[in-house]
Amino acid sequence: MSTTPNTPTSAAREPSCKVSAGPHDAPSSPAGKRPAPPCTLVIFGAGGDLTKRLLMPALYNLAVDGLLDDGMKIIGVNHGERETSVWREDLHKSLQQFAADKASTFHAGKLDDKAWDWVAQRLEYMAGEFETDDTFAKLKQKLDQSPGGNVIFYLAVTARFFKPIVEHLGKAGLLKEGEGDAGGFRRIVIEKPFGTDLASARDLNAHILSYADESQVYRIDHFLGKDTVQSILAVRFANALFEPIWRREYIDSVQITAAETIGVEGRGKFYEQTGAFRDMLPNHLFQLLGMVAMEPPNSFDAEAVRDKKAEISDAIQPLTADDVVFGQYERGPAGIGYREEPDVAPDSTTETYAAARVYVENWRWAGVPFYLRTGKRLAARRTEISVQLKPVPFRLFRDTPVDALTPNVLTLRIDPAHGTSFDFNVKTPGPVMQIGAVQSSFDYADFFAERANVGYETLLYDCMLGDETLFQRADSIETSWCAVDDVLHPKTGGAIPVHGYAAGSEGPAEADALLARDGHAWRPLKQDAVEKK
């Protein structure tokens, strides 16, 4: 293994193992889906919330679908001694609670006991500190006994442990892959935040790539595990209706929204260090922007897709203070203010809302503004992308009682409603040429059976197969941070001001003014037609 940082390559990486039969006691895999190869999944942070709420439900769902191999093993590494049986029972109780909770993303109802037993038999707990040699020597002994040698190291830990864990894995020889097609793979999955600015992201990339090859590193963004996010590419490239107009000649502007009604939910310490901008803009929202704006790839090969997304990251014009609005929720109809939350400083200037105007400087998108917003304690929970087309010439309607035409807007609804809608104009009934605004919509629930899905199923499955399409490369991570670095570290003018907004509102008035300068307005978060669904 090289001891110097590696440069990402565009060569597609094939899974380095043979695929065996699926689980004997689990359902057979769906038509067209092959089971993942046998592997050992090592979860650092086995006692954490991420493991309970997302990783274990995702593994359970994969087992239900018959997509895990019978040779699968799961080793949970965490601080503190604990019996494997106790860990299993704790995970089982958590799954049962989440499955019964209709508000949970894992609303599976009653658990399939057969599928859970299959997963439980493969769970093993190992006590160990994340920064001591003994932990990794003990882990190496366990992995030497694993069939096939395929191992995925999942870092479900706080960001401060990323570097020491990877370093210990590398020095213990645990990242060395076997030779040839029969050799076992070694992969690392790293959660966000991947750095807190450009300098820290570069440093983290350099450190990781001094012990592992870029092809072994899977930087995960759970937004990309959502079916409705992946559907963006299907809507764009599988329909002749959209792609011909998907350009500056026809599109006026794009809005990308990720709004939440909840506050920081006891995560005050984390949020004080991070804020809404760092937490959401350079990763989640830029990822959505990339899927909306990317050029068509030649295929859905991982590197073909990631190359096109990297081109968009590189083409984003660096943001300035004039492009950004920060806000912080105050006591209002929806509850207490941010400064009243636990572990938050009484004079905190951390933003819980961020809006940005982004330009992509390439041939397709030059001059088209992308408006991004995210925030806590807003009027409605909504993640969506709205593509507004340019207005038609008004001359035809100059002698009719038409004061204004409703803009044509295609909205891709990601969460909590799943589907699309299109706003357009028709003639209202009657003898006079009167225009009325209407909406045509499609909802996933009307066509497809609802499935319990936490968003990590596809990502874990793809990692086992060696498909890196939905994972971020080092170059894309760094160019995204580069685009926002002047906002995080202003060279002039000082820090971005933080404006108050009432909890339960649409956000700060200054965010409305940001769009008004361009003659635009945010789509309302409260939309009766959608809220009634």
For residue range 42-52, what is the model confidence (pLDDT) as tens digits? Answer: 999 999 999 99
Q: Output the CA torsion 10→194→123→458 (10° steps).
A: -50
Average pLDDT over residues 314-322: 96
Angle between helices 162-171 and 198-208 (to 10 degrees): 20
- The answer to whether 361 is a known ligand-binding residue is no
- The answer to whether 138 is a known ligand-binding residue is no
Residue position matching structure tokens 């350099």? 206
pLDDT digits (tens, 9 = 90+) for 520-529: 999 999 875 4
pTM: 0.89
Tell whether the model's pLDDT for residue 100 goes beyond 60.
Answer: yes
pLDDT bin (cut points 50, 70, 90) of residue 98 is confident
Tell whether the model's pLDDT for residue 165 goes beyond 90.
Answer: yes
pLDDT digits (tens, 9 = 90+) for 345-387: 999 999 999 999 999 999 999 999 999 999 999 999 999 999 9
Percent of the chain with pLDDT over 90: 73
pLDDT bin (cut points 50, 70, 90) of residue 3 is very low
Give the Cα separation of 162 and 165 in Å (integer): 6
CA 346, chain centre distance (Å): 31
Domains of the chain are 40-219 (3.40.50.720), 225-454+475-531 (3.30.360.10)
- Residue 403's pLDDT is 60
- Residue 450's pLDDT is 73
- Residue 8's pLDDT is 39
Q: Which residues of 46-84 are buried (b: 16+ CB within 10 A; e: fewer)?
A: bbbebbbbbbbbbbbbbbbbbbbbebbbbbbbbeeebee
- The answer to whether 129 is a known ligand-binding residue is yes
Catalytic site includes residue 418: no
Tell whether the model's pLDDT for residue 393 goes beyond 90.
Answer: no
CA 242, chain centre distance (Å): 24
- Residue 437's pLDDT is 86
Say which range, 97-111, 312-326, 415-429, has the weakest mean pLDDT.
97-111
pLDDT bin (cut points 50, 70, 90) of residue 6 is very low
Average pLDDT over residues 199-222: 96
Helix (H) or strand (E) holding 354: strand 353-359
Say which range, 54-68, 310-324, 515-529, has the weakest mean pLDDT.
515-529
Higher pLDDT pick, 54 / 109: 54
Please choose, from the candidates 154, 179, 148, 470, the residue with its C-alpha nearest in 3D space to the C-alpha of residue 303: 470
Tell whether the model's pLDDT for residue 107 goes beyond 80.
Answer: no
Q: What does residue 411 show for φ and ψ, rounded to 5 degrees?
A: -115, 125
175 within 8 A of 64, measured Cβ to Cβ: no
- The answer to whether 18 is a known ligand-binding residue is no
- Residue 138's pLDDT is 95
> How much is the mean pLDDT over the chain?
89
- The answer to whether 457 is a known ligand-binding residue is no
CA 58, chain centre distance (Å): 15
Higher pLDDT pick, 147 / 499: 499
Average pLDDT over residues 85-112: 86
Active-site entry in 92, 284, 418, 520: 284
In this structure, what token pair is assigned to residue 425?
């104009």
Under 8 Å CB-to-CB from 240, ≥6 apart: which residues?
A: none
- The answer to whether 79 is a known ligand-binding residue is no
Give the count of alpha carbons within 13 A of 440, CB side only. 6
Q: Which long-range contacts (CB under 8 A, 24 or more apart) does 290-298 make?
A: 290/476, 291/229, 291/232, 291/233, 292/232, 292/236, 292/254, 292/256, 292/370, 292/385, 292/387, 293/254, 293/360, 293/364, 293/365, 293/370, 295/364, 296/236, 296/237, 296/243
- The answer to whether 226 is a known ligand-binding residue is yes
CB atoms within 10 A of CB 442: 12
Percent of the chain with pLDDT over 70: 89
- Residue 399's pLDDT is 66
pLDDT bin (cut points 50, 70, 90) of residue 432 is confident
Give the Cα separation of 215 and 7 in Å (integer): 10
pLDDT digits (tens, 9 = 90+) for 434-455: 888 899 999 988 998 877 788 8
Tell whether the model's pLDDT for residue 308 goes beyond 50.
Answer: yes
- Residue 32's pLDDT is 57
